[in-house]
C-alpha cells in the first residue's frame, strides 16, 4: 500500500469533481461548488464564458450585466434549472435569450430596468415554475409574453408601472393554467375587473396581491376584498392597511375595507355565497375552497344530514369536482349548506345559503309575481271607479246643473220627506227641451226660482205619472220659508 500525499489527494479530488479537467474549469471571479456556480457581486459586465454544460444553478446577481443577448450561452445548458440575474441594471433581454436553457424552472429578473415584456419573450421556457419580475420599470406587457408557460405557478410583477390589469393571465384554460400566485402590488392600476375576479377559484384569489395601487373606490371591489377577509385569504388579511382607494372627488386614499356604509358609496357587505332558485329547478352548489390538492370533502344539509353520494331518489348528487347538485327543488330544500374540506395544511368550511322561492319559473313568459299583480289590480280598480263616476249615462244629460222646475202647490204635500213614495219621476219622460219657464225671478236668499209650474205629462196607461215635487214646498225639510197653513 503506497501512502497518499497531499498533492496526490488534491489531484484525485479534482478528477472526481465536475470542475476538474474532465468537466471544465470554474470561471474567474466565481465560486463553484458541485453543480452550483455563483458569480454574485463580481463586478461583471457580461456573462462569463465558457459555462460548463452541467451547471444546475447560476447566480449572476449584483453585477453590471445590462444586456442579455441570445449568445450569452453559446452552448446548450440542459441541466440549468435556476438563473439569477437580479440587481444588474438589465434593460434588454433578447427574445431568443432562453433558447439554450429549456429546463429552466426558476428565473429571477427582479430589480432591473426592464420596461417592456416583448412578444413571446418567455415562450422557450416550457418548464418554468417561478418568474420574478418585480422592482422594474415595466409599463407594457404583451399579451403573448407568457405564451407556452404551462407550468408557471408564481408570477411576481409587483413594484412596476403597469396601468392595465392583465386579466388574460388568470382566465381558466388560457396561457397560465397552473398559475397559483400573481403579484401586481405597487403598480399603477386604477381599476380591476372585480366581477370576473370573484368568479376565479378561491385558491387563486388567495394569492392575488393588489395592495399599494391607486385604485378607484368601488362597491364590487369592496365586496371582493371583504369576502377575502372573512375567508382569511392571505392576500387580503396580511395587507389590509395597504389596500386603499380614491373616493370620487377626494384626493386622499381611504382603506377599501372601511367602505361599508360610508358615503358617498355606502357599500353593503356581501354574504359568503347566496343562491336563489325556484320550485322544481335544479341548482349546483360550489365548494369554493382556497386549497389545491384537496384530499377529501363532504357536504352537510340544513337538516344536519351528511352527503357522501347520491341521496333521496337521486335528488341530491355529489359531483366529482366536489359540488353538490340539487334536483327538483322543494320548499324544505332551502337553508344553509356547508362544505367540509380537508386541505393539505388546514381544514376549511364553506357555507352556501340557498333561497327557494315558492313559485315556479318557466321560460320568458313567467307568472306575475305578487307585487306586480297587486299593482295591476289597484290600477284596474281605480279605472273602474272613474268609469262608474264619469261615464255612467244620466237621466237628464242636457239639464245637468240646472234646477228642477217646481211642482204644483196643491200637490206639495205628497213630496214631503215623510211620504213613503220616492220623489223620482217614473215611466216615460218628455225631452228636456220641452220644459220651459214662463218667467224667471229671484227667490228667497237670492236663489233662482222658476215662475211657472211645468205642464204635467199626458196620462199613459192605467197609472198616472208622479208629479214633480216643488223644492220650495212648505213641507220640504230644506225649505227656509215659514210654514203657513
User: Taking phi first (over 0 means left), then psi (-120 to 50 degrees means alpha), and beta for anything else, what does residue 144 get?
Assistant: alpha
Q: What is the pLDDT of residue 454?
A: 47
- pLDDT band for position 445 (cuts 50, 70, 90): very low
Is residue 4 predicted with pLDDT exceeding 60?
A: no
For residues 288 and 294, the answer to whether their CB atoms sit within 8 Å is no
**pLDDT digits over 180-222, tens only?**
899 999 999 999 998 888 878 777 888 899 999 999 998 889 9
Q: What mean pLDDT is predicted for residues 454-459?
A: 49
Is residue 140 predicted with pLDDT exceeding 80?
A: yes
Is residue 159 predicted with pLDDT exceeding 90?
A: yes
Q: What is the pLDDT of residue 188?
A: 95
30 against 288, higher pLDDT: 30
Burial level of 450, CB count in 10 A (0-12/13-18/19+)?
Answer: buried
13 against 135, higher pLDDT: 135
Q: What is the pLDDT of residue 84?
A: 97
Q: What is the pLDDT of residue 385?
A: 87
Q: What is the pLDDT of residue 10?
A: 34
| Of the listed ranges 95-109, 180-194, 227-241, 390-404, the one predicted with least confidence | 390-404
d(Cα 292, Cα 286) in Å, to the nearest integer? 15
67 against 471, higher pLDDT: 67
Q: What is the pLDDT of residue 89?
A: 95
Average of per-residue pLDDT values in the chain: 76
Residue 25: half-sphere exposure toward Cβ, Cα within 13 Å = 6
Q: What is the pLDDT of residue 413?
A: 42
For residues 245 and 218, the answer to whether their CB atoms sit within 8 Å is yes
Q: Which three cell numbers stand for residue 468?
A: 214633480
Q: Tell me what percent of the chain is helix, strand and coil, each rounded to the nearest 5.
A: 15, 20, 65
Q: What mean pLDDT is predicted for residues 274-286?
A: 83
| Domain map (residue ranges) of the chain | 275-357
Q: What is the pLDDT of residue 125?
A: 94
d(Cα 272, Cα 31) in Å, to the nearest integer? 54
Q: What mean pLDDT is predicted for residues 459-478?
A: 44
Q: What mean pLDDT is predicted for residues 213-233?
A: 88
Is residue 423 predicted with pLDDT exceeding 50?
A: no
Q: What is the pLDDT of residue 161?
A: 96
Name residues whose C-beta falls within 8 Å of residue 397's C-beta, 6 or more positions apart in sequence. Answer: 432
Burial level of 237, CB count in 10 A (0-12/13-18/19+)?
Answer: middle
Residue 227: enclosing H or E segment and its boundaries?
Answer: helix 219-230
Q: What is the pLDDT of residue 13?
A: 38
User: Looking at the domain 275-357, which fold is it?
Assistant: Immunoglobulin-like (2.60.40)
Full-model pTM:
0.60
Q: What is the pLDDT of residue 307?
A: 84
For cell 244620466, the residue is 394
Give counts: helices (H), strands (E), the chain. 6, 26
Q: What is the pLDDT of residue 369?
A: 60
**pLDDT digits over 164-180, tens only?**
988 888 875 567 888 88
466 against 357, higher pLDDT: 357
SS3 assignment, position 376: helix
For cell 396561457, the residue is 175
Q: What mean pLDDT is predicted for residues 87-114?
A: 95
Amino acid at each position: 500500500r503506497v501512502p497518499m500525499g497531499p498533492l496526490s489527494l488534491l489531484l484525485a479530488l479534482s478528477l472526481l469533481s465536475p470542475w476538474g479537467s474532465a468537466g471544465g474549469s470554474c470561471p474567474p471571479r466565481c465560486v463553484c461548488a458541485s453543480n452550483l456556480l455563483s458569480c454574485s457581486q463580481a463586478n461583471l459586465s457580461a456573462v462569463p464564458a465558457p459555462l460548463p454544460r452541467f451547471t444546475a444553478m447560476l447566480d449572476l446577481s449584483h453585477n453590471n450585466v445590462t444586456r442579455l443577448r441570445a449568445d450569452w450561452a453559446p452552448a446548450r445548458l440542459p441541466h440549468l434549472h435556476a438563473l439569477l440575474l437580479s440587481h444588474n441594471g438589465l434593460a434588454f433581454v433578447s427574445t431568443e435569450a432562453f433558447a439554450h436553457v429549456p429546463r429552466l424552472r426558476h428565473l429571477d429578473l427582479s430589480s432591473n430596468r426592464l420596461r417592456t415584456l416583448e412578444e413571446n419573450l418567455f415562450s422557450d421556457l416550457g418548464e418554468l415554475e417561478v418568474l420574478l419580475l418585480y422592482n422594474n420599470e415595466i409599463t407594457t406587457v404583451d399579451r403573448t409574453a407568457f405564451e407556452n408557460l404551462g407550468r408557471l405557478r408564481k408570477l411576481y410583477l409587483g413594484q412596476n408601472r403597469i396601468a392595465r390589469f392583465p386579466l388574460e393571465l388568470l382566465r381558466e384554460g388560457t396561457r397560465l393554467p397552473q398559475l397559483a400566485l400573481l403579484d401586481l402590488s405597487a403598480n399603477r392600476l386604477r381599476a380591476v375587473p372585480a366581477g370576473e375576479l370573484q368568479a376565479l377559484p378561491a385558491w387563486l384569489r388567495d394569492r392575488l396581491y393588489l395592495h399599494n395601487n391607486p385604485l378607484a373606490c368601488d362597491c364590487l371591489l369592496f365586496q371582493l376584498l371583504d369576502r377575502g377577509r372573512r375567508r382569511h385569504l392571505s392576500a387580503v388579511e396580511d395587507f389590509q392597511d395597504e389596500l386603499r382607494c380614491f373616493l370620487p372627488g377626494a384626493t386622499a386614499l381611504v382603506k377599501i375595507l372601511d367602505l361599508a356604509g360610508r358615503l358617498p358609496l355606502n357599500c353593503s357587505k356581501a354574504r359568503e355565497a347566496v343562491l336563489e332558485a325556484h320550485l322544481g329547478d335544479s341548482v349546483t352548489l360550489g365548494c369554493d375552497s382556497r386549497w389545491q390538492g384537496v384530499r377529501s370533502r363532504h357536504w352537510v344539509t340544513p337538516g344536519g344530514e351528511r352527503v357522501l353520494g347520491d341521496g333521496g331518489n337521486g335528488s341530491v348528487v355529489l359531483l366529482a369536482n366536489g359540488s353538490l347538485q340539487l334536483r327538483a327543488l322543494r320548499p324544505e330544500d332551502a337553508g344553509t349548506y356547508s362544505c367540509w374540506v380537508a386541505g393539505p395544511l388546514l381544514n376549511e368550511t364553506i357555507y352556501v345559503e340557498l333561497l327557494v322561492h315558492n313559485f315556479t319559473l318557466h321560460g320568458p313568459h313567467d307568472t306575475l309575481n305578487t307585487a306586480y299583480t297587486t299593482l295591476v289590480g289597484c290600477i284596474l280598480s281605480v279605472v273602474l271607479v272613474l268609469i262608474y263616476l264619469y261615464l255612467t249615462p244620466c237621466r237628464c244629460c242636457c239639464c245637468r246643473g240646472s234646477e228642477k222646475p217646481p211642482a204644483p202647490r196643491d200637490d206639495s204635500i205628497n213630496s214631503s220627506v215623510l211620504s213613503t213614495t220616492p220623489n223620482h219621476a217614473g215611466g216615460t219622460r218628455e225631452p228636456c227641451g220641452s220644459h220651459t219657464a214662463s218667467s224667471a225671478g229671484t227667490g228667497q236668499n237670492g236663489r233662482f226660482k222658476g215662475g211657472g209650474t211645468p205642464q204635467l205629462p199626458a196620462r199613459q196607461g192605467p197609472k198616472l205619472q208622479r208629479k214633480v215635487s216643488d223644492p220650495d214646498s212648505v213641507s220640504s225639510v230644506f225649505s227656509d220659508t215659514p210654514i203657513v197653513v
